[in-house]
Amino acid sequence: MGHHAGRSGTTDFDAFADQHPALLDKKLLARFYRSSMLAGDLARTGWVEPDLAPSPWQQAGG
């Protein structure tokens, strides 16, 4: 979310959501993380790297 928000040209949430509808997918995190990873202490208190697939912004070079 932060990756896209930092590059968005709008401060309006509806416009932002229209530009990035995939971010509203309730299963988005499941593409990148196992549920056990998300339920772990590290993920609950800070950032953990995806354990199933790299984040798209990492593949695009940040």
pLDDT tens-digit profile of 44-56?
999 899 999 987 7
Give the pLDDT mean for 10-30.
Answer: 86
Q: How far is CA 61 from the centre of its chain?
A: 15
Give the pLDDT mean for 2-26.
Answer: 80
- Is pLDDT of 61 > 70? no
- pLDDT at 57 (0 to 100): 66
- pLDDT at 22 (0 to 100): 84
d(CA 41, CA 51) in angstroms, rounded, equals: 15
- pLDDT at 7 (0 to 100): 73
